[in-house]
Amino acid sequence: MRTQDFDFYLPDTLIAQHPAAKRSASRLLHLNGRTGHIEDKLFVDLPDFLSAGDLLVFNDTRVIKARLFGHKTTGGTLEMLVERVLGTHHVLAHIRASRAPKAGTKLKLANAFEAEVIDRDDDLFHVKFLSETSVLDLLEQYGALPLPPYITHTAESDDEERYQTVYAKHAGAVAAPTAGLHFDETMLNTIKAKGVNIAYVTLHVGAGTFQPVRTDMITEHKMHSEIYHIPAETVAMIEATKAKGGNIIAVGTTSLRALESAARPGKLQTGMGETDIFITPGFSFKIVDKLVTNFHLPKSTLLMLVSAFAGFDHIKNAYAHAVKQQYRFFSYGDAMLLDRVD
């Protein structure tokens, strides 16, 4: 398929710049991937589509304050976006500067501490923070929340709360698993009271999630790589749910990518992994039956993923319907519930 096949018209006015007043106050578009039927609902209606014995799988990654500003010690300003924390003092990062720094270049970040460029791999720089304080602590103290490029305001205190799920636990993402932003404690309690179970995976979302596909043919696109972890308890809960005929509902494309990546050997595997899985129409899903997700960017890998999950034509129709009905799009926007196409 061609990348252009996944383009669609979206007025700028439909790109949500701020979250809804309450987490669960968004709208919900339900798309049946088997029939193509579309329903306009509210997110608080989500429990109506779930049954006792189903399993919701959330991504419990925590967004870090990954954006830093600084300068080379020899002069020249720069902006750094940490893509991945490698250890206590090392990161992989994007660096925007008038001239790309070479290995050995010293950096002064946030006018507070120094760092050194170790080497470069394509568009990512391996950087060592020259401080006894850990990377995560330095980012928390001096970094800024990395809001998506289509959100035009700089991060504010409200963003630090709302661009984070209520169940965020493991620090390491540079973008939020945005489908989870709709869930508040009331919604989680309602779901549990219905007899629906909850499990967690961790996938640290990278900045590449916002990158459009720039190749003409989608098969030529190279995916960014992300780290995930599947707990043994989650695998056991998935196996038990499937054995009893329950549905596995992934909350967000990141949860889905983690689960389907871990199942590529044929059976769902526990533990850590690294994935560059690229899900496009024709993909055979092994684990996930339903998907809660937001609306995605034109010509993006995530739009290709949901097209694979719920059907290319069905997604195309659903997005056209969402634009006509003025749904709010992207990270702070409304949600979809997708039933997998057979």
Nearest to 169 by CA among 202, 191, 120: 202
Q: Measure the CA–CA gap between 84 and 325, rounded to whole angstroms.
A: 38
Nearest to 33 by CA among 312, 249, 282, 258: 312
The packing angle between helices 301-310 and 312-324, to 10°, is 110
**Identical fold at 3-63+165-339 and 67-142?**
no
CA 211 to chain centre: 12
- Which pLDDT score is estimated for 216? 96
Positive or negative torsion for Cα 97, 132, 164, 318: positive
- Which pLDDT score is estimated for 210? 77
Name the H helices within 63-210.
135-142, 157-162, 185-193
Domain ranges of the chain: 3-63+165-339, 67-142
Nearest to 249 by CA among 34, 58, 52, 61: 58
Q: Measure the CA–CA gap between 328 and 258, rounded to whole angstroms.
A: 26
Q: Which CATH architecture has domain 3-63+165-339?
A: 3-Layer(aba) Sandwich (3.40)
Name the H helices within 244-310.
253-262, 301-310
- Which pLDDT score is estimated for 54? 98
Query: What is the pTM for the complete model shown?
Result: 0.95
Q: What is the pLDDT of residues 241-296, one digit of tens each?
A: 999 999 999 999 999 999 999 999 999 999 999 999 999 999 999 999 999 999 99
Instruction: For residue 311, give both structure tokens.
Output: 């059907």
Task: Please answer whether residues 191 and 217 qualify as being in contact, where contact means their C-beta atoms are separated by less than 8 angstroms.
Answer: no
Instruction: For residue 281, give both structure tokens.
Output: 């129409």
Q: What is the pLDDT of residues 164-209, one digit of tens each?
A: 999 999 999 999 999 999 999 999 999 999 999 999 999 999 988 7
- Residue 253 exposure: Cα atoms within 13 Å on the Cβ side: 31
- Which pLDDT score is estimated for 208? 80
Positive or negative torsion for Cα 167, 202, 79, 92: positive
pLDDT along the chain (342 residues), means of 10: 96 97 97 97 98 98 97 94 95 95 96 97 94 97 94 92 97 96 98 98 89 90 93 98 98 98 95 95 97 96 97 98 98 98 88
Task: Please answer whether residues 331 and 24 qualify as being in contact, where contact means their C-beta atoms are separated by less than 8 angstroms.
Answer: no
Instruction: For residue 147, give both structure tokens.
Output: 């809001």
**67-142, CATH topology level:** Thrombin, subunit H (2.40.10)
Name the H helices within 244-325.
253-262, 301-310, 312-324
